[in-house]
Amino acid sequence: MEKKVLTTPIQRKDLEGIKAGDIIYLTGHITTCRDVAHRRLIELGRELPVDVRDGAILHAGPIVRDLGEDIFEMVSVGPTTSMRMEKFEYDFVKETGVRLIVGKGGMGPNTERACKEFGALHLVFPAGNAVLAATEVEEIESANWRELGMPETLWTCRVKEFGPLIVSIDTEGNNWFEQKKVEYNAKKEEVLESIYQEVKFIK
């Protein structure tokens, strides 16, 4: 299977044919953006200091080494739980025009609706690979809202083939985590029934 690499800026047509469960990689720019940045934009009406339209954000609080003179080195960049941003994500995508949202774990109906209406994807970077993710950051190009502290700063990074990224929600609003949950529950009932029958037989 051909390796799918998306390069920023990303247009809606670039996401055609990408389905929930697919694996892609990102080249270009991605900005870390989590709880406080979402609240500032949506609840306080503050404009983001970096343009993420047709770009990508990463739900992450990285560990960054300050080398002085506004030069930084990415040490570790593990994704944080995306569901914490769920209540903001529809409005966030609408306001910013972001195309890719990368994080950990699934998201819900607000994000499904945003991905479908505005042409975006939610993606998952596999957990436990924070140091690997850092090696895929070629350079930290800017750091905004540094007064928020290292985890909440908007770190804009140039990346090359950042991934693997699993498509959690596609542009049709299909939710891979919810689909798998249904499959799991169906199989669970079958397994529980077979165990129940075995126990009855032993007795």
Active site residues: 38
Measured CA to CA, the distance from residue 76 to residue 140 in angstroms comes to 12
Spatial CA neighbour of 32 closest among 17, 11, 49, 20 = 49
Q: How far is CA 83 from CA 37, 165, 173, in A?
A: 15, 17, 16
| Residue at token pair 């990224």 | 165
In a 13 Å sphere around the CA of 184, the CA atoms on its Cβ side amount to: 6
In a 13 Å sphere around the CA of 129, the CA atoms on its Cβ side amount to: 14
